[in-house]
Amino acid sequence: MPEPLIDPEAPQPMGIVERLTRDDSERKRFLKMVGGAGAASFGAFVLAACGSSSSSSKTTATTAATAPAKTGTASASGDLAIANYALTLEWLETTFYERVVSAGLFKGAVGSLIADFARQEASHVQALQALIKQFGGKPVSRPKATFPIDSATQVAKLAYTVENLGAAAYLGQAANIQSPTVLAAALSIHSVEARHAATLGTLVYPGAGQVNTAITPDGAFGKPADMATVLAAVKPFLA
């Protein structure tokens, strides 16, 4: 059985003093992102600098939304690659929840939450497939996957890990998305993955004493994960 993607047993600073200290480092991380002038940000700067000089580049959001089939540009292919990457993750989540639901490990209120999440992940798959087709791309097919499904506790922990990873994956791509339509869609899914993660967190880490671990394991600012990190983390589940 593969190790969990993130160690759910990892110690979390819980004290108020520790948390304030950590908040300060989180604040710095945020500022680094905001003020960062890394190589990746120069593209955006250059584009902005040139924004008003070339009429051929005046692609408005409306144009992007109504004529998304315009392919061959770096932006369209980049967004399609990101959308297919997201679709791969949504397929994995969908397969995972399908097996959890059919294993019948959860009853009552928790069982109905899990069933909701299963339907919602499947709706993400359908929405991304439609979006990819609409933008002239070809949606990836469902990958073969295998997940350890042993007990309710183990599955809840794995689900918590998978959902946190999903949220981090969307967050890691948000700023790379160029079409506002694709971005808006990704954002509307991203926050739902975060809601799933927090909900599962309250099941796995119940009680007032571990609120941070359960709900906001990254603290005040969600931590993004890049594609390589995410793909390495899900590799053990790809059959």
Partner 1 sequence: MSTENLVHPELAGVEVHGMSRASFIMRGALAAGAVYGVGAVSPFVGSALAQTSTGDVDILNYALTLEYLETDFYQVKGASLKLSGLARAYAKDFGAEEAAHVAAIAEAIKDLGGTPVAMPKFSFPVTDQASFLKLASTVENLGVSAYNGAAPMISSKEVLGAAGTIVQVEARHAAAINLLIGLSPTPTQGFDVPKSKSQVLAAATPLIA
Which of 1-9, 28-36, 144-152, 231-239 is the region at the interface with partner 1 (rule: CB under 8 A)? 28-36
Q: Is 21 in the site for partner 1 (CB under 8 A)?
A: no
Q: Is 224 in the site for partner 1 (CB under 8 A)?
A: yes
Q: Per residue, what are the HEC states of the chain? A: CCCCCCCCCCCCCCCHHHHHHHHHHHHHHHHHHHHCCCHHHHHHHHHHHHCCCCHHHCCCHHHHHHCCCCCCCHHHHHHHHHHHHHHHHHHHHHHHHHHHHHHCCCCHHHHHHHHHHHHHHHHHHHHHHHHHHHCCCCCCCCCCECCCCCCHHHHHHHHHHHHHHHHHHHHHHHCCCCCHHHHHHHHHHHHHHHHHHHHHHHHHCCCHHHHHHHHCCCCCCCCCCCHHHHHHHHHHHEC
Q: Is 113 in the site for partner 1 (CB under 8 A)?
A: yes
Contact set for partner 1, span 173-192 (CB under 8 A): 174-176, 178-181, 183-185, 187-192
Beta carbon nearer to partner 1, 64 or 80 = 64
Binding partner 1 (rule: CB under 8 A), the pick from 202, 229, 231, 236 is: 202
Beta carbon nearer to partner 1, 2 or 206 = 206
Contact set for partner 1, span 140-179 (CB under 8 A): 167, 171, 174-176, 178-179
Q: Is 50 in the site for partner 1 (CB under 8 A)?
A: yes
Beta carbon nearer to partner 1, 6 or 127 = 127
Closest Cα partner for 60 from 176, 180, 173, 174?
180
Q: Is 15 in the site for partner 1 (CB under 8 A)?
A: no
Site string for partner 1, 73-112 (x = CB under 8 A): xxx--x----------------------------------
Binding partner 1 (rule: CB under 8 A), the pick from 80, 88, 124, 132 is: 124
Beta carbon nearer to partner 1, 228 or 239 = 228
Binding partner 1 (rule: CB under 8 A), the pick from 1, 7, 11, 36 is: 36
Please give the backbone phi and psi of residue 112, each rounded to the nearest 5 degrees, phi first.
-75, -30
